[in-house]
Amino acid sequence: MTSDSSRHRLGLLAVAALSLFGALFARLWFLQIVEGDTAQAEATANTTDTDITPAPRGRILDRNGIVLVDNRESIVVGIDRQEFGDLEKPKQKQLLTRLSSTLSAGRPVEEKVSVADLEKKLDDSRYSKFRPVPVAEDISEEDEIYFSEQASQYPAVVVERTTVRVYPYGSLAAHVLGYVGPLSDGQWKDLKKDNDPKKPYIQADEIGKAGVESYYEKDLRGTPGRQVFRVDRTGKVVGEDKSKRIEPKPGDDLYLAIDAKVQYKAEEALQARLSLSFDGPAGKEAGGLVVLDQSTGQVRAMASYPTYNPADLVGGISCPVWRDLQGLPRDGGDCGDDIKRETKLLKENDDAPVAKLLNRAYQGAYQPASTFKLASAYAALKDGVRTVDSQTMDNGYINICGGDEGPGCEKQNADRTPHGPVTLSPALTVSSDVYFYEVGRDFWAKGTRDRLGETAFQDGVGELGYGEKTGIDLPVESAGQMPTPQGEMELAMALYDKDPAYYDNDKDLAKQAGRWNTGYSADMAIGQKLTVTPLQTANAYAALANGGTLFQPSVLEKITVAGQPDQIHRRYEPKVIRTIDWGPNREAFITGFRGVVDPSSGNAGGTAVSTFQGFPFDAMPLAGKTGTAQTGEFKNGRKKPDNSVFVAFTDGGPSSWVASAMLEYSGSGAGAAAPAVRMVLEPIADGSIARFTIPEGGQIDAEEAADQSGVVGSGSD
Amino acid sequence: MATTYGSTRSPNRHRVHRPMANFRTNNASPFRHIDLVLVACVIGVSLFGAVMVYSITRGSEPPYDAGYLKRVLVFIVLGTAIMAATALFDYRKLKDFWPFIYGLSIFMLVMVLVPGIGSRTKGTQGWFQLPGFQLQPSELAKLAMIIGFAGLASQFRGDLDNSRVLMLLGVCGAPMFFVMLQPDLGTTLVSVAVAFALLAVVGVRGRILGGLALAAILGSTLVLTSGVLKEYQVARLTTYVRQDDTAVTKIDRESRYNLEQSKIAIGAGGMWGQGLFEGSQTNGEIVPEQRTDFIFSAVGEQLGFVGSGALLALMGTIVWRVWRAAQLARDEFGTLLCTGIMVMLVVQVFENVGMTMGIMPITGIPLPFVSYGGSALLTMFLSMGLVLSVHMRRFS
Beta bridge partners of A73: A163
Can you spell out the DSSP letters for A632-672? -B-TTSPBPPPEEEEEEEE-SSS--EEEEEEETT---IIII
Could you say which of A5, A10, A21 has the minimum Cβ distance to residue B323?
Answer: A10
Share of chain A above pLDDT 90, in %: 55
Could you say which of A29, A36, A233 has the minimum Cβ distance to residue B286?
Answer: A233
Q: What number is the ipTM of this complex?
A: 0.90
Could you say which of A21, A40, A233 has the minimum Cβ distance to residue B316?
Answer: A21
Does the distance separating the beta carbons of B281 and A23 come in below 8 Å? Answer: no
Q: What are the pLDDT digits (tens) for A397-443? A: 888 876 555 566 788 888 888 999 999 999 999 999 999 999 999 99
Does the distance separating the beta carbons of A20 and B323 come in below 8 Å? Answer: no
Domain with CATH 3.40.710.10 in chain A: 367-532
Q: What are the pLDDT digits (tens) for A277-336? A: 999 888 889 999 999 999 999 999 999 999 999 998 887 788 888 888 888 888 777 777
Amino acid B6: pLDDT = 45
Residues of chain A by 3-state class (helix, strand, coil), percent to 5: 40, 20, 40
Range among A241-245, A333-337, A452-456, B230-234 rated most confident:
A452-456
**If you count DSSP H runs as helices and E runs as strands, how many of each does chain A have, helices first?**
25, 23
- How many residues in total does chain A contain? 717
Does the distance separating the beta carbons of A32 and B304 come in below 8 Å? Answer: yes
Mean pLDDT of chain A: 89
Does the distance separating the beta carbons of B266 and A32 come in below 8 Å? Answer: yes
Sign of CA dihedral B156, B158, B163, B165: positive
For residue B323, list chain A residues with Cβ-Cβ distance below 8 A.
10, 13-14, 17
Amino acid B16: pLDDT = 52
AA letter at A698: G
**Alpha-carbon distances of A269 from A265, A287, A310, A663, B272, rounded to whole Å:** 6, 11, 21, 11, 77
The domain segmentation of chain B, as residue ranges, is 33-392
Domain A49-256: CATH superfamily is Penicillin-binding protein 2a (Domain 2) (3.90.1310.10)
Amino acid A245: pLDDT = 83
Residue of B nearest to A7 (CA): B327
Query: Which residues are CB-neighbours of B43 under 8 A, at least 6 positions away?
Result: B76, B80
Q: What are the pLDDT digits (tens) for A376-394? A: 999 999 999 999 999 999 9
Amino acid B3: pLDDT = 46
Stretches where chain B sits below pLDDT 70 are 1-28, 60, 227-230, 232-233, 236, 239-255, 283-286
Residue of B nearest to A28 (CA): B305
Amino acid B2: pLDDT = 47
For residue B329, list chain A residues with Cβ-Cβ distance below 8 A.
1
Domain with CATH 3.30.450.330 in chain A: 257-352+553-717
Amino acid B7: pLDDT = 46
Amino acid B249: pLDDT = 61
Amino acid A234: pLDDT = 57
Q: How far is B346 from chain A (nearest CA, A)?
A: 6
Residue of A nearest to B258 (CA): A233
Q: What are the pLDDT digits (tens) for A512-539? A: 888 998 889 999 999 999 999 999 999 9
Q: What are the pLDDT digits (tens) for A609-641? A: 999 999 999 999 999 999 999 988 888 888 899
Amino acid A46: pLDDT = 65
Q: How many other CB atoms are found less than 10 A from the CB of residue B242? A: 12
The span from the CA of A443 to the CA of A202, in Å, is 57
Q: Per residue in A459-485, is it b (16+ CB within 10 Å) or e — as a string?
A: bbbebbbbbebbbbbbbebbbbebbbb
The span from the CA of A96 to the CA of B23, in Å, is 82
Residue of A nearest to B266 (CA): A32
Amino acid A638: pLDDT = 85
Cβ distance A158 to A132 under 8 Å? yes
Amino acid A551: pLDDT = 97
Amino acid A713: pLDDT = 72
Cβ distance A568 to A560 under 8 Å? yes
Residue of A nearest to B250 (CA): A86
Query: A-B interface: how many C-beta pairs under 8 angstroms?
Result: 141
Mean pLDDT, to the nearest integer, of A225-253?
77
Q: Domain A257-352+553-717, what architecture?
A: 2-Layer Sandwich (3.30)
Domain with CATH 3.90.1310.10 in chain A: 49-256
Amino acid B32: pLDDT = 76
Q: Domain A367-532, what architecture?
A: 3-Layer(aba) Sandwich (3.40)
Share of chain A above pLDDT 70, in %: 96
At B265, is the secondary structure helix, strand, or coil?
Answer: helix
Q: How far is A86 from chain B (nearest CA, A)?
A: 9
Cβ distance A460 to A375 under 8 Å? yes
Q: How far is A34 from chain B (nearest CA, A)?
A: 9
pTM: 0.67
Q: How far is A7 from chain B (nearest CA, A)?
A: 7
Strands of A7-156, DSSP E: 48-53, 60-61, 67-79, 133-136
Does the distance separating the beta carbons of A40 and B284 come in below 8 Å? Answer: no
Q: Which of A628, A631, A658 is nearest to A644 (CA)?
A: A628
Q: Which of A530, A529, A525 is nearest to A398 (CA)?
A: A525
Q: What are the pLDDT digits (tens) for A556-613? A: 999 999 999 999 999 999 999 999 999 999 999 999 999 999 999 888 889 999 999 9
For residue B335, list chain A residues with Cβ-Cβ distance below 8 A.
1, 6, 10
Task: Give burial (CB, 10 Å; 0-12/13-18/19+) of A408.
Answer: middle
Q: What are the pLDDT digits (tens) for A51-83? A: 777 889 999 999 999 999 999 988 888 898 878
Q: Is the peptide bond before B368 cis (omega within 30 degrees of 0)?
A: no
Residue of A nearest to B352 (CA): A24
Q: Greatest CA span in chain B, whole angstroms?
A: 99
Q: How far is B343 from chain A (nearest CA, A)?
A: 8
Range among A4-8, A710-714, B72-76, B247-251 rated most confident:
B72-76
Could you say which of A13, A35, A44 has the minimum Cβ distance to residue B197?
Answer: A13
